[in-house]
Amino acid sequence: MIRLIVILSLLASPAVSAERPPNIVLIFTDDLGYGDMGCYGATKVKTPNIDRLAAEGRRFTDAHSASAVCTPSRYALLTGEYPFRRGLWGPAMNASALVVDPARATMAGVLRQQGYATVCFGKWHLGFGSKPSPDWNADLKPGPLELGFDHFFGIPVVNSHPPFVWVEDHRVVGLDPADPLVYGGEPPTQSFPEKMMRPPMSGAKAAHALYRDEEVGTTLTERALAWLRAHRDKPFFLYFATPHIHHPFTPAKRFQGTSGCGRYGDFIHELDWMVGEVTRTLDELKLRENTLVILTSDNGGMLNVGGQEAWRAGHRMNGDLLGFKFDAWEGGHRVPFIARWPGRIPAGSVSEQLISNVDLLATFAALTGAEVEPGQARDSVNILPALTGEPEKPLRTELVISPNSPKHLALREGRWMYIGAKGNGGWSAPNPGDHLLGGAGALKFTGQVNSDVAEGRFKPDAPEAQLYDLVADPRQSRNVILDHPEVAARMRARLAELRPAAGEARTAPKEIYSHPKPVGALHFDFESGDLQGWRVVEGGFEALINDRRNFHHTHGGAAYNKQGRYFLTTLERKEGGKGKDAQTGVVESPVFRITGGRASFLVGGGRHPDTYVALVDAETGKEQLKAQGGNTEIMFRVNWDVSAYRGQKVFLRIVDRHTGGWGHVTFDDFSAEAEP
């Protein structure tokens, strides 16, 4: 049993009595990079409130998120368990079930058992319900309340993806039963750069109207401050999971144009204000001395379009670190970490201890005298000595990091960082202007150096794995795996020991890969390996039908979907399994007649205006309905209401007239209440 007993010496002083354990405020930011604040070296933004927090507490220089991706990182934070053990590699979207087993010990649950009032304000992004595709018009449970929070108010998924509504406790706020929230269609919401409308959801106009992007920071802050005032007389845990600074960058008007690096920096300025409002309110309530405040991030900064604009303006979101969000490289997961507890944490101090967000459950348990049962929080290390003292030895001897790619699972041991495959382990769009710019293409844009990369490409003869000496080379400019084969072999073997046994890890969010029964008699599944009567009417394609077994077939260790072996794609085949977007054209299905109201299919690829699937009126040629991918290889399920076209002859049209990043469409498993 892991027994995490209260450290009595911390509770012995007059400032912290045994009757009133310390309050805990955890500000968990989104995509805030190692170089995004003044106290970590930023010059194009001003962060006086965060800098003051660091000056009054301790700043860590070797803190990491357990994953370089949002959902897995939050899983690690709340459960004290590495996300690879759960098979989590990518983000959960609107059809995801809750990815945390409610029977598992969680940070909030442990603190609630110790008498704390617990609350979560902000971004959830861990799914809802016990099954994929939860009913958004009913109780969204299990959810935050089943994981130990007394109250939840916030963004159900992420500020960039539907639905754009508020959820409070178990329900969507302002939902009109006469206008339900449904899968498919276009969300009735404001448009902003890098605000994605996929996976599609629509309806619920009244609920959507309450969510105003530029008011999100203010709304969440006001809610948090009101809750603090209402719970000042009892030990409390505030989990403030800000959507800042995840895209879209939508600060309130008063922050727009205030930074030196565009909308990216302006969003940081709003975040700094939010932090200041929380710390000011703690002072106002005379709770400062008895409150532990921690600020950290779910992963490193992202080189999206807003990030690229900030970079051009001279901002370095991850400082001098190599890589970005999603990556196994340091920029993907080395994050800011600041802790303040007056009288307990030395003011203005800096620590080089290796720590992680996965450690906070054990730390809070130790702080409050809680016990964690066997098998729970198994990867969490009590880092309280690193917060309040100066340990002579490292508290952690190793740390596992999960990037977006399972084969790039990484291990840190002291000065060494081992990455299990070639490349960054994250997104790899090659061109500036691509939302998912990453990998070798990102290094060409930034001018950073890595020995495995030349001219924006990974060298063909680069080693198949990576080893870096972070003491001698913190920027990871040189892969030294060939110089230290014995170190690499030892760390590779250790990772093999840590990886779950066959069948232990579950697959990533199941809704991405689910295969419900056909909704009607008409079915295009391409399992015959041919086009089933589809024809190319414009352009040309090398091979429209592809095989999952040998073509770009995995995401997060799971198949494209579990429908079958073959699917249709406009992506050009390329040796090595991946593809390129040079092909353009239009493909159309045979004509069929709608007999009912339902149609369902899987779509992936790009969300450019010139890459989509359409339902077309066979008489007029008018495109009646459209669907797109989400700039990802994942194929999402789309459900169309086609009742308005009952009795009409229609066909499907797949359009690919785009050759830039994600300039392709993938399509599969179409069924409809229709007849040939």
Candidates 26, 30, 242, 239; CA nearest to 147 is 239
- Measured between alpha carbons, how far is 284 from 426 in angstroms, rounded to an integer? 43
Q: Classify residue 237 as exposed, middle or buried by CB count within 10 Å of its CB (0-12, 13-18, 19+).
A: buried
Angle between helices 305-312 and 262-284 (to 10 degrees): 100
Q: Record the tokens describing residue 633, joined without a space.
A: 């290889």
Q: What is the DSSP letter of 163?
A: -
Please, are residues 147 and 128 in contact by the beta-carbon 8 Å criterion? Answer: no
- Measured between alpha carbons, how far is 179 from 168 in angstroms, rounded to an integer? 18
The CA-atom distances, in angstroms, between 74 and each of 127, 328, 368, 608 are 11, 17, 22, 30
Cβ within 8 Å of residue 276, ≥6 positions away: 48, 49, 52
Q: Record the tokens describing residue 129, joined without a space.
A: 């319900």
User: Has 247 been annotated as catalytic?
Assistant: no
Q: Say whether 223 sits in a helix, a strand or coil.
A: helix
Cβ within 8 Å of residue 156, ≥6 positions away: 94, 124, 128, 140, 163, 165, 167, 172
| Residue ranges in 210-261 assigned as alpha helix (H) | 216-230
The CA-atom distances, in angstroms, between 356 and each of 67, 322, 456, 566 are 10, 19, 31, 41
The CA-atom distances, in angstroms, between 47 and each of 252, 257, 279, 308 are 16, 15, 14, 20
Candidates 161, 193, 450, 195; CA nearest to 309 is 193
- Measured between alpha carbons, how far is 130 from 128 in angstroms, rounded to an integer? 7
Candidates 126, 145, 142; CA nearest to 88 is 126
Q: Record the tokens describing residue 246, joined without a space.
A: 């995840």
Q: What is the Cβ-side half-sphere exposure of residue 669, based on CA atoms within 13 angstroms?
A: 24
Candidates 61, 49, 57; CA nearest to 347 is 57
User: Has 125 been annotated as catalytic?
Assistant: yes
Set 64, 70, 208, 408: catalytic member: 70
Q: What is the DSSP letter of 437?
A: B
How would DSSP label each residue in 596-624? EEEEEEEEEE--STTEEEEEEETTT--EE
The CA-atom distances, in angstroms, between 178 and each of 94, 203, 205, 206, 512 are 21, 10, 10, 10, 28
Q: Classify residue 232 as exposed, middle or buried by CB count within 10 Å of its CB (0-12, 13-18, 19+).
A: middle
Set 39, 64, 120, 125: catalytic member: 125
- Measured between alpha carbons, how far is 199 from 163 in angstroms, rounded to an integer? 9
Residues tagged active-site = 70, 125
